[in-house]
Structure 1
Amino acid sequence: MPESSPIPDDAWEKFVQDAERDAASAPKEPSARARMVAERLRALDEAEARKSRAERRWGRKKAPAGQWQPQGWRTGPAWQEMNGRGSRRRTVWSALGVLLAVAVAVIALNPSAALSWLPGGAAPEAAAASASPLAPETGRPSGAPAGTTGLPTRKRPFTGSPAQRWAAGADAIEVPKAKAVAGVSAARIETALRLTKDFLVASNLDREVLNGAQPKKALALIDPLQKDYLSELRAGLRRPTVENDPTWTFTRFDPDRVELVGPDVRVRGRMTVEPGGTAGQALIRADYTFVYPLARAGGGKEVVRTIVRRIVEVNVPDPVKFQATEGHIWVHDLNAEISNDNCRDGDGRIQPMFRADLYADRRPSGEAVDPYDRSRGLDGAGEECGTVSRT
């Protein structure tokens, strides 16, 4: 839909509902308009195929040396040395074009459905009751969540997404009950769990940070003894590069290009505690997926979603055996995957793709990945710009 379209959100939603209901009963013999639309879509597909053959396929990127931890980095005992930045993969969205083609075809085949969402058309039906919220995640899921239908709007930005049933904001990050692990007291683990949640909130939910501000609260939570790590993060924030892009740690968008839609960011995940590598240390593992609805800055009507999954590991030491700073976390490792981004590493902002971007940029390659599938691990994922099956 063009940015200047006068069609309101509720009318668009009505069209989507009618289109899904009536698609099965569409006429078998296409009209002249339907044949015209089909011919245009076929021509676009052929042009895109020729373009793809002429272009170089996108492959894996080699991980830059020293990307996460500077050579020889040590600020404490050996266990305090981070294991290096985990593998990370950035994926882009290529599913929207298919949905749009279906919508255009349904308009041509079923104009009565289109008339119902035009101004002055039939009154919209009552919206279906929202699906019941999911129970908190307590273990690794066995597979991807079931698919849903519909396109997002400003009024209902999570339509068509499993995140429609997810909890929102900081309340979705639930801290498990603390108990002593590997010689570390329950009280110390409880404090570390709370600080880990604070770090996730400050890195991925703080509204100012999402709009491009410096993540001061998140940086302040990292142990000052991790001097080289903090220095690298601050350098990336000042002058991001391909090798040191802060979006792999902090979720940040460009407010001059996009705006967050609605007050909610949907979140799903879990926090666990296990023994660390040696006696006298525990390891917190926080695995969360964040779903951000976005539109073009200035009131754009088209709504897209960017999905960010982060796995943060935090070491919790016994202060009798190891050096650490009270009231801070020691980041042992951090892994991330970003879905629906234009794959331009090094600009320090996540740049979501809209419909026009699908034809302006090169198409990604590789097997499609479901960003909502939390049964997948991120360890060992290649650094590539691939495709996602949905957003």
Structure 2
Amino acid sequence: MPHGDDLDQRFTDVVGQIGPEQQREMSAAAKRGARASRRAMNTEPEPLRREPEWDQPEPPRRRTSAAWWAGAVLSVVILVGWVVVEFRPDLVPFTGVVPEETTAVRGPVKENGASDAAVSDSAEPFKGSPAEKWPTGAAGFVMPPAEAVGGLSKQDVARGLARTRKLLTGAYLDRKMMMGGRPTAFTRQLHPEQRANFRKEGAATWLPIFAPKTAEFASTMIKVKGRTTISEYKEDGRTGARLSTRYLIAYAIQRPGQADSAIRLVAEHEGAVTVFRQDGELVIWADRWGADIAPARCDVDDDYIHPMYADSPADLTVPNGKAADPYELDDTPDDGECQAVEGT
């Protein structure tokens, strides 16, 4: 029985025999199969000991950027079979014009995904942008005062708000996770039954994770702006609170080891967390969860973020609709999969 490198080599040899067109067809078939599987799993639930009702987390809206620091750019978050990607991302036959923005790393890489020369606490990467004046880190995930709603007490809603804030920080401030590390800070906040769905779907379908070797952080500073609103939740006999979340998160990234390639990248998160009681238990459920990313490629289908740098090859996907402002929290999204943005 082959072990270690022998198995890897055999897998690589098999993949190498598959032509680009066949790879695209296989990827598309896997994508359709994954969607069909998710639809089958998302049947209407019954009370207790079966999965509470939830909407499948929508993959982030793809965007294109009409202007970057120096050139046209695109953004993306897309879908691929999660099992292979999670355990052997280096063996996935990517589809699209560029598999990775792979470059030589000039210096040791830290655990948080940045080389010694790159990491800094300076706000300089955000100077001159709207994000310069935003709160830094978790301070930007501001929660409203708790209030009794939908039959829940003020204390119940307060617990829901606290959990929502931890979900947001685990999703968007965990730099190790974004570079491929374990998403523990996020998953420990999910309802136990929802964690099973998370494992089936794969981390990259829920969370902003960079494709291997495409990026490192150029600064430890992450800027955040947004809001959470409380409304009554009433569905299928349940009542409680819906916590609607909308935030912008700005990062400074660069190619591994190349400080001169530094760019700003903005994630636009939109989601909802429902809070209700079921058989006496307080359930806190991530109803919707996802983000739009700019600037990143629209023509690579693997769920990961592929940043679009100033000198990246042109994207093959044509953007839809008019250009949006990535720093505008209330900008109306376009229905297309790849939308133009004015710049980051």
- TM-score tier after normalising by the smaller chain length: 0.5 to 0.7
Instruction: State which of 291, 297, 302 in structure 2 corresponds to 1:342.
Output: 297
Question: What does residue range 189-228 of structure 1 map to in structure 2 within 5 Å?
Answer: 189-226=157-194
Q: Which amino acid in structure 1 is aligned with residue 219 of structure 2?
A: G
Residue 362 (structure 1) aligned with residue 316 (structure 2): yes
Residue 375 (structure 1) aligned with residue 330 (structure 2): yes
Question: What does residue range 156-175 of structure 1 map to in structure 2 within 5 Å?
Answer: 156-175=124-143
Query: TM-score, normalised to structure 1's length?
Result: 0.59
Counterpart residue number, 1:385: 338
Counterpart residue number, 1:333: 288
User: Are the aligned partners of 2:59 and 2:206 in contact in 1 as well (CA < 8 Å)?
Assistant: no
Kindly state the Cα deviation for residue 299 of structure 1 after the two structures are TM-superposed: 3.3
Residue 186 (structure 1) aligned with residue 154 (structure 2): yes
Kindly state the Cα deviation for residue 65 of structure 1 after the two structures are TM-superposed: 5.0
For residues 103-127 of structure 1, the C-alpha deviation after alignment (integer angstroms, 9 at most, x for no partner) is xxxxxxxxxxxxxxxxxxxxxxxxx
Counterpart residue number, 1:91: 63
Distance 1:255 1:67, change over 3 A: same
Distance 1:180 1:345, change over 3 A: farther
Residue 70 (structure 1) aligned with residue 23 (structure 2): no
The secondary structure found in structure 2 opposite 1:213 is coil
Instruction: State which of 213, 216, 240 in structure 2 corresponds to 1:256.
Output: 213
The secondary structure found in structure 1 opposite 2:254 is strand
Gaps of 5+ in 2: 1-30, 73-121
Instruction: State which of 248, 255, 273 in structure 1 corresponds to 2:230.
Output: 273
Residue 295 (structure 1) aligned with residue 267 (structure 2): no
The secondary structure found in structure 2 opposite 1:302 is strand
Question: What does residue range 38-57 of structure 1 map to in structure 2 within 5 Å?
Answer: none
Kindly state the Cα deviation for residue 270 of structure 1 after the two structures are TM-superposed: 0.5
Rg comparison, structure with higher value: 1
The CA distance in 2 between the partners of 1:324 and 1:311, in whole Å, is: 29
For residues 255-298 of structure 1, the C-alpha deviation after alignment (integer angstroms, 9 at most, x for no partner) is 63311111211111001111002563111111111111111101
Gaps of 5+ in 1: 1-60, 101-153, 238-245
User: Are the aligned partners of 1:175 and 1:271 in contact in 2 as well (CA < 8 Å)?
Assistant: yes
Is the strand fraction higher in 1 or 2? Answer: 2
User: Are the aligned partners of 2:131 and 2:223 in contact in 1 as well (CA < 8 Å)?
Assistant: yes
User: Are the aligned partners of 1:80 and 1:332 in contact in 2 as well (CA < 8 Å)?
Assistant: no
The CA distance in 2 between the partners of 1:345 and 1:68, in whole Å, is: 23
Q: Which amino acid in structure 1 is aligned with residue 310 of structure 2?
A: R
User: Are the aligned partners of 2:217 and 2:253 in contact in 1 as well (CA < 8 Å)?
Assistant: yes
The CA distance in 2 between the partners of 1:97 and 1:270, in whole Å, is: 28
The CA distance in 1 between the partners of 2:274 and 2:128, in whole Å, is: 38
For residues 51-108 of structure 1, the C-alpha deviation after alignment (integer angstroms, 9 at most, x for no partner) is xxxxxxxxxx9995565782425263799412444474111334137669xxxxxxxx
Distance 1:83 1:234, change over 3 A: closer
User: Are the aligned partners of 2:66 and 2:323 in contact in 1 as well (CA < 8 Å)?
Assistant: no
Residue 234 (structure 1) aligned with residue 199 (structure 2): yes
The CA distance in 1 between the partners of 2:284 and 2:53, in whole Å, is: 13
Distance 1:286 1:261, change over 3 A: same
Counterpart residue number, 2:5: none
The CA distance in 1 between the partners of 2:35 and 2:149, in whole Å, is: 35
Aligned length: 260
Counterpart residue number, 1:133: none
The CA distance in 1 between the partners of 2:266 and 2:38, in whole Å, is: 23
Query: TM-score, normalised to structure 2's length?
Result: 0.66
Kindly state the Cα deviation for residue 173 of structure 1 after the two structures are TM-superposed: 0.9
User: Are the aligned partners of 2:255 and 2:261 in contact in 1 as well (CA < 8 Å)?
Assistant: yes
